Amino acid sequence: MKRRDFLRTTAAGAAGISLLGIPFATEAADKTIKLTILHTNDQHSRIDPFPDDGRAYGGMGGMARRASLISEIRKQEANVLLFDSGDIWQGTPYFNFFEGELEFKLMTQMQYDAATLGNHDFDNGLEGLQRQLPHAGFPFLSANYDFSETILKDAFKPYKVFEKQGLRVGVFGLGIQLKGLVGKMHYGQTVYLDPVQKAQEMVQVLRQQEKCHFVICLSHLGYSYVGEKIDDRKLAQRVSGIDLLLGGHTHTFMEVPEVIRHDSGHETMINQVGWSGLFLGRIDFAFQKKSKRKVGVHTAVLAVDNPVLTS
Amino acid sequence: MKKPLRTSLNLLLLLLPLVGCQPRVWQATTAAAATDVPVDHALKDHPQVETTIAPYRERVTAQMSEVIGYSEAELTKGEYQSPLGNFVVDLLLEESRELYGQPIDMAVATNGGFRSPIPEGKVTMGNAFELMPFENELVVLTLDGPTVQELFDFAASTRIAPMANATYTALDGKASNITINGKAFDPARHYTVLTSDYLANGGDHMTMFSKALKTEKVGMLMRDAIVRHIRELTASGKPIKPDTAPRVTFHPQP
């Protein structure tokens, strides 16, 4: 639990951001709605834990364990949303032998609310994805892939709105440029659209038309690149109105979520939890019941084999 | 346009600890702390999920334990050339030539792609997956002479790139006395080089591949080629043998 300790120190000390907040407890519980966001990214078909043979992260991960963790949290929290930011597939023989069927089934049992597509989710082509979609009891959200000229026309929606105690949470998905990353024969006529422009449209639709109080982006763009290539940090700087950006692709273990402030003053929190389901991301938000204004965000850093560190 | 944004962000982050003791400088923004909950031994398996996994796991285990061949010795990787490196690049070239239908001059891979040795004795499907867990595809690149020279210089300086159907001398990070297909390297002609899509796209810093004149897929995954080759050996009653004949002449580092 070294990492845990380190996280705690960082959060309390150097990061600073954490010092700005009002503690959750000071908000009267009856005046707030608590929203618990759980998330994963880049699961890469890691059904079973990493073999505990001295390798990095040996003995960690495992979908049956994650399911227990999620179901415990669901018992404690009224408003849970569970998301994945893509690359569910590829990385263990489970994928080679069963083509992603088991991954989708288990995510369905865990009651994932939505996911977005990663580049590896195209690894068996559009046909391979189409074959397994019936096993996914959750929607894939994609706002910047145009599938209209493919067999997956109408298979995906750009966004979905979830309502929890009157709080409207709008969620949309963004994928990475497929050219060069995925074989052309695998993505076929799928068209990649500018994620910045699409994100702006999504924010507009979700806030204006759908009257959402909170906007979440599931992104498989990647956390941060040197150069012009679009990433989660650049997206947050260029698009105002995303509250939470749950990332993937770069397998980034973030010590703390990063908060990026747009010129407009809007703040976007970015988080990503490495890969392979080694960790489950958890972020708790509090909203004023009346105004649905966000009044708090904190993390129940529930170290699984330790007492609760913050609450 | 981006720079001022980044600067202001950095400034903001710098200022945060200073103002931290004051009440609410950002409206509606509060604490951000670490968020990831480890999934580890402390958690029990969820019974329903575990029940779903079990039959799949049995089938994976059964398939992974299938013996596909035998090896006379453990094949491990090493600098410049190695029993494991030689075995893999040779078989990739052999299997690809059959499928590709046109001549391929040579093959190159990198040690980073070999994730596990081939054990002495029984070789299982699981061993093939451990050796090559990636879904890398085989591609044939057409390179001009100077780019081929760069490729050999890369192999000479990094020592991580075993080659099939080629030999050279490595000295001071440069390659000389290059032969391809048994003939002296001719910088004036084009060569076809078999490698993985990962390396062809610049993986392991093989940036010279971006100068490829042509890139064509063979239509086979590296691992499938490995499995196929080992099965073929077994079917013809042959074990895997380490090839230790020198391909690279080099002088040990002082």
The answer to whether residues B181 and B106 touch, using CB atoms and an 8 Å cutoff, is yes
Range with the poorest average pLDDT among A5-14, A60-69, B141-150: A5-14
Lookup: tokens for A8: 């705690």
Angle separating helix axes B47-64 and A63-76, nearest 10 degrees? 170
Please tell me the predicted confidence (pLDDT) of residue A28: 58
Pairwise CB contact (< 8 Å): B38 & A278 = yes
pLDDT tens string, chain B, 254 residues long: the values are 333 333 333 433 433 333 333 332 222 333 444 478 899 999 999 999 999 999 999 999 999 999 999 999 999 999 999 999 999 999 999 999 998 989 999 999 999 889 889 999 999 998 999 899 878 899 999 999 999 999 999 999 999 999 999 999 999 999 999 999 999 999 999 999 999 998 998 878 899 999 999 999 888 999 999 999 999 999 999 999 999 899 999 876 54
Tell whether A9 is covered by a domain: no
Amino acid at the residue A95: F
Please tell me the least confidently modeled range out of A220-224, A292-296, B176-180: A292-296
Task: Say if residue A281's pLDDT is above 80.
Answer: yes
A304 vs A167: which has the higher pLDDT: A167
pTM, whole model, 2 decimals? Answer: 0.75
pLDDT of residue A105: 98
For residue A90, tell me if it sits in a domain. yes
CB-CB under 8 Å, B137 with A183: yes
* Out of B16, B39, B50, closest to residue A280 by CB: B39
Q: Do A301 and B30 touch (CB under 8 A)?
A: no
Given this model, what pLDDT does residue A1 score? 33
Of A22-36, A59-73, B7-21, B53-67, give the lowest mean pLDDT range.
B7-21
Give the pLDDT score at A280. 95
User: Would A258 be classed as within a structural domain?
Assistant: yes
Amino acid at B156: A
Calculate how close chain B gets to A19, using CA atoms only, in Å.
Answer: 5
Mean pLDDT over all residues of chain A? 86
Classify residue B236 by burial, with Cβ atoms within 10 Å: 0-12, 13-18, 19+: exposed
Per-residue pLDDT, B1? 33
- Long-range CB contacts for residues B183-187, cutoff 8 Å, separation at least 24: B185/B145, B185/B148, B185/B149, B185/B152, B186/B145, B187/B145, B187/B146, B187/B148, B187/B149
Angstrom distance (rounded) from CA A21 to CA A36: 18
Q: What is the pLDDT of residue A203?
A: 98
Measured between alpha carbons, how far is B24 from B231 in angstroms, rounded to an integer? Answer: 68
One-letter amino acid of A151? I
Residue B240 in tokens: 């895997």
Q: Determine, yes or no, domain membership for A140.
A: yes
A18 — pLDDT class (breaks 50, 70, 90) = very low
Judged by a CB distance cut-off of 8 A, whether residue A87 touches chain B is no
pLDDT value, residue A299: 53
Torsion angle of the four alpha carbons A217, A221, A223, A226, in this order, in degrees rounded to the nearest 10: -140
Q: CA torsion B174→B177→B182→B184, rounded to 10°?
A: 110
Distances (CA, A) of B40 to A6, A107, A276, B46, B155: 18, 18, 12, 13, 41
- The topology (CATH level 3) of B68-238 is 5'-nucleotidase;  domain 2 (3.90.780)
pLDDT of B54 reads 97
Q: Touching check for A118 and chain B: CB below 8 Å?
A: no
- Which runs of consecutive H residues, i.e. helices, occur in A212-300? 232-238
- Look up the CATH number of the domain holding residue A233: 3.60.21.10
The C-alpha torsion from B176 through B181 and B183 to B187, rounded to 10°, is -60
Query: Mind telling me how many Å the CA of B243 is from chain A's nearest CA?
Result: 29
How many Cα atoms within 13 Å fall on the side-chain side of residue A87? Answer: 28
Interface of B with A in 194-223 (CB under 8 A): 197, 201, 217
Residue A134, pLDDT score: 98
pLDDT at residue A238 tops 60 = yes
In-domain check, residue A55: yes
Which of 194-253 (A) contact B at CB < 8 A?
Answer: 234, 237, 253
Answer whether A297 sits within 8 Å of B56, measured CB to CB: no
pLDDT of residue B26: 26
**pLDDT tens digits, A95-122:** 989 999 999 999 999 999 999 999 999 9
pLDDT at B52: 97
Residues 40-79 of B with CB under 8 A from A: 40-46, 48-50, 52-53, 56-57, 59-60, 63-64
Q: Report which of residues A282 and B15 the model is more confident about.
A: A282
What ipTM was estimated for this complex? 0.84
Burial code (b: 16+ CB inside 10 Å, e: under 16) for A109-124 equals bbebbbbbbbbbbbbb
pLDDT for A180 equals: 67
Q: Following CA atoms B67, B71, B76, B82 in sequence, which dihedral angle do they give, to the nearest 10 degrees?
A: -130
Report the domain count for chain A: 1
% of residues, chain A, pLDDT over 70: 86
A230: containing domain: 33-63+83-103+113-282
Predicted confidence at residue A19, as pLDDT, reads 31
The confidence score (pLDDT) of residue B128 equals 94
In a domain, A287, yes or no: no
In a domain, A248, yes or no: yes
Mean pLDDT to the nearest integer, A234-258: 94
Nearest to A269 among B32, B34, B48 (CB): B32
Of A231 and B16, more confident: A231
Higher-confidence position of A250 and A19: A250
